[in-house]
Structure 1
Amino acid sequence: MSTQETERLSSWDLLQLCMPWLLLAISGVVYFAWALPASGAEFWPEGASILGLLAAAAAWILAGSTLPITRRNMRPALSAVYFLGLLGLSIALMAYSEVFVILTIAGFFHAYLLSPWPLGLAAVFATSVALNGMTIFLPDPTPETLVMFVVIVIVQTAAIGIGIPISRRHEIAERKREELITRLEQALHENAVLHAQLVAQARESGVQDERERLAREIHDTLAQGFAGIITQLQAAQRPTGSARVPDQHITQALHLARNGLTEARRSVQALAPQELGSAHLPDAIRTLTERWSTDEQIAAQVEVTGRREPLSPAIEVALFRVAQESLTNVAKHADASRVGVTLSYTGSEVLLDVRDDGRGYAVAAGAGFGLTSMQQRIRGIGGHVELQSSPGEGTSVSVRVPAIVDQNEEAGR
């Protein structure tokens, strides 16, 4: 039997495993070292018969209890057959010498292998009858020894047999505990696998989210800045009657380049736009719109309604970027003469509307990266974007987001 198999057995299993071998060895040694020489008998034929019975008992114990116990495959029917065979061999050996009462005691231990428990109790009774019958009653039976025999058998059966139902309940509880431990180990293993999968998915999701964030920031800052620089430089290349006009375009291009560099650094550091660094959303949108109107030479009006609340930075950044992207699209595509920006605080929600009177377009034609990025931003904070436009009737971008208040600002009040 391997070390791992031994470690899996309980103390009671080890006792049942070792006890018959110990009792068999003790009884054999005592018989051949003391009982047989003391009787004056020769080794042959009695000693040879005893040796044969001991060998048969050893083989029976090995096949009937040792191997099944170590392999944990004890079966009720085979256990009953094993017990009857062990008891028969013990009685046969006791017929030669009372020394083998020692081996018969193994019947008490292996009666616990039988199930249901009444069968084990009957096995204890049979063992007690065989053991005490050979030592008390049979050699010289008298009424007194008969009474003594009956009393001893009853008391012995009750004292030893009472442990059988108790051990059976303990065995059932132990089996349930082992099954529970096995299920817990399986659950822990499954949880570990799920945890590893979740960690991998979270890592991949984080990488994807960061890529999308950088893509949006690049589009909203660098790409728009480069587009403005190109527009100004192209205007500076056009022949004009004034020497100051190209210089103005170059100055504007430098201004756009510096702003783009600043925004690129802020995007890499995941900071809010520069306009939001020193002001809240209404003032930042007003500053953005006025500067855009000056640069693009398009009339623009900003209106703020409702009670102003300091919003969560994520919401303010998202709304600011939507306003920025919408104004950029107006400058690039709309050919508009007037733009209106409305920021409305309604209590539970904040609304942002950017409208122009430009050429418009067919919404069914699809959206570019700018509009897709805008929608992703707003969905990321639990909001909704609605785009309305048709050829010749201008465009309206409407955003609705939850009014989540900045807790740090509230605590500072």
Structure 2
Amino acid sequence: MVNPRVWPALPYLFILLPAVFSLVRQWRPEVLALTLAAVAWQWFMAGRTGRLAGAIAYVVVLLGLVAVLIRIDSLFMVICLGGFIQSFLLLPGWWAYAGVAATAAVLVSTRPWAQIPFSFLVATLVASAAGLAGQVIRSQNESRKRMIAKLAALGEENADLQARLLTGAREAGVLQERQRLAREIHDTIAQGLTGILTQLEAIDDPAKAGPRLETVRDLARESLAEARRSVQALRPAPLEQAQLSPALEEVAGKWSRASAVPATVSVTGDARPLHADVEATLLRVAQEALANVAKHAAATRVGITLSYMEDVVVLDVRDDGSGFRASGTAGGFGLVAMRQRVTRLAGRFEVETAPGQGTGISATVPALGREA
């Protein structure tokens, strides 16, 4: 491949090389003068052929000088090769073929008259075919350059989009982690502190405060342990040594002893180990539901039902308390946290309640196995 810096020198070489050989073979001042004139004309017109008029003037004058040189010495026919190339480089559209025809006419001008038409036709066709092929190649190169530029632009856009997606994913991850911590803190520390306050407020006689203080001490220890587990994203303590149904019975038993409200747990279907997130979600929902009953319901009994089905597992917590007027936005952070936990697992969370008719919450989540 020709170095791009060589192209500007080629027109001069097409004139100077045959001139050198011609002058070495026979010294002729007119050859030197015409050669210098052609070189000077090329130098003078450099940068002035951008317009059609300048390009035409350049080709016409140069071909005139070349025609005289060919009459003197046929070696200068080599210059016509450069003329063919320059015609396609400098002249647009059909003007390029006119320049080729003019160059071919100069090239065959020294041949016998009978051969001129055929030689002119052959020279024109060959040069035009070569020029056309060059134009096609040049057009393809330009298309490739434009395509490469578009691909580079698309690459930059994709890189920018990927960066924005990564930023969005990182922000979403941060938000999700904040929501997880908020739910865990609410379901562990907040519930534990609420239980502690409830026990302290129930102390009427300091002399008989021993059992309640023992309960307060247990609640404080459990709350601290659960807070550490929440920060470290570990499984709830009741699930460390047991499956979901025994863990629910343990939670319900502790809650009954602290609140003096009986809570029963029943299991339907074939109990089986579930994915850690499924078990943790249902256990937290049960804990929050029981905490809400203790704080708001004034209930006399609570029933917890865990139903294992083929594709889903359902947790129902129902009480006979005061209930409340349900609406699309009813409920505090506890209901919001429960709903977020369930919907995070592509589950369904429902609340059924009415003033004086108790409250029932239902959490339905996919029954993912522990190996999932």
Same fold (TM > 0.5):
yes
The answer to whether the aligner puts 1:263 opposite 2:226 as a matched pair is: yes
Q: What is the CA distance between 1:15 and its match in structure 2?
A: 6.0
Q: What is the CA distance between 1:377 and its match in structure 2?
A: 1.1
**Distance change in 2, residues 1:309/1:170 (3 Å):** farther
1:129 paired residue number: 105
Q: What is the CA distance between 1:273 and its match in structure 2?
A: 0.4
SS of 1:63's partner is coil
After the TM superposition, which residues 38-77 of structure 1 pair with which residues of structure 2 at under 5 Å, given as runs? 38-39=27-28, 47=33, 54-64=39-49, 68=50
Q: What is the CA distance between 1:22 and its match in structure 2?
A: 3.4
SS of 1:396's partner is strand
> How far apart, CA to CA, are the structure 2 residues paired with 1:407 and 1:176?
55
> How far apart, CA to CA, are the structure 2 residues paired with 1:351 and 1:52?
100
Alignment partner of 1:386 out of 331, 335, 350:
350
Percent same amino acid among aligned pairs? 35
The answer to whether the aligner puts 1:395 opposite 2:362 as a matched pair is: no
The answer to whether the aligner puts 1:274 opposite 2:237 as a matched pair is: yes
Q: What is the CA distance between 1:155 and its match in structure 2?
A: 4.0
**Counterpart AA for 1:56:** W
Q: Tell me the C-alpha RMSD between the 2 structures.
A: 3.0
**Distance change in 2, residues 1:61/1:26 (3 Å):** farther
SS of 1:318's partner is helix
Question: Gaps spanning 5+ residues in structure 1: where?
Answer: 1-9, 69-77, 138-144, 409-413
**Distance change in 2, residues 1:103/1:89 (3 Å):** farther
**Distance change in 2, residues 1:265/1:95 (3 Å):** closer
- TM, length-normalised to structure 2: 0.87
**Counterpart AA for 1:239:** D
Alignment partner of 1:326 out of 286, 289, 300:
289
1:87 paired residue number: 59
Q: What is the CA distance between 1:53 and its match in structure 2?
A: 5.7
**Distance change in 2, residues 1:62/1:24 (3 Å):** farther
**Counterpart AA for 2:131:** I
**Counterpart AA for 1:381:** L
**Counterpart AA for 2:170:** R
> How far apart, CA to CA, are the structure 1 residues paired with 2:103 and 2:188?
95
Higher helix fraction (1 or 2) = 1
1:92-131 CA distance string (max 9 Å, x none): 3235534665544321112333555x76455333312212
1:71 paired residue number: none
The farther-off stretch of 203-212 and 356-365 is: 356-365
The farther-off stretch of 360-369 and 381-390 is: 360-369
**Counterpart AA for 1:87:** V
**Distance change in 2, residues 1:53/1:62 (3 Å):** same
> How far apart, CA to CA, are the structure 2 residues paired with 1:375 and 1:355?
16
Q: Is the 8 A contact 2:15 2:35 kept in 1?
A: no
The answer to whether the aligner puts 1:239 opposite 2:205 as a matched pair is: yes
The farther-off stretch of 374-383 and 165-174 is: 165-174
2:147 paired residue number: 180
> How far apart, CA to CA, are the structure 1 residues paired with 2:81 and 2:55?
12
The answer to whether the aligner puts 1:217 opposite 2:184 as a matched pair is: yes
Q: Is the 8 A contact 2:255 2:290 kept in 1?
A: yes
- TM, length-normalised to structure 1: 0.79
> How far apart, CA to CA, are the structure 2 residues paired with 1:28 and 1:202?
73
1:1-27 CA distance string (max 9 Å, x none): xxxxxxxxx959766544224335557
> How far apart, CA to CA, are the structure 2 residues paired with 1:51 and 1:18?
15
> How far apart, CA to CA, are the structure 2 residues paired with 1:153 and 1:250?
118
Question: Gaps spanning 5+ residues in structure 2: where?
Answer: none
Q: Is the 8 A contact 2:85 2:131 kept in 1?
A: no
The answer to whether the aligner puts 1:367 opposite 2:331 as a matched pair is: yes
After the TM superposition, which residues 197-212 of structure 1 pair with which residues of structure 2 at under 5 Å, given as runs? 197-212=164-179
Q: Is the 8 A contact 1:16 1:110 kept in 2?
A: no
The answer to whether the aligner puts 1:284 opposite 2:247 as a matched pair is: yes
Q: Aligned pair count?
A: 366
Q: Is the 8 A contact 2:352 2:361 kept in 1?
A: yes
Q: Is the 8 A contact 1:298 1:339 kept in 2?
A: yes
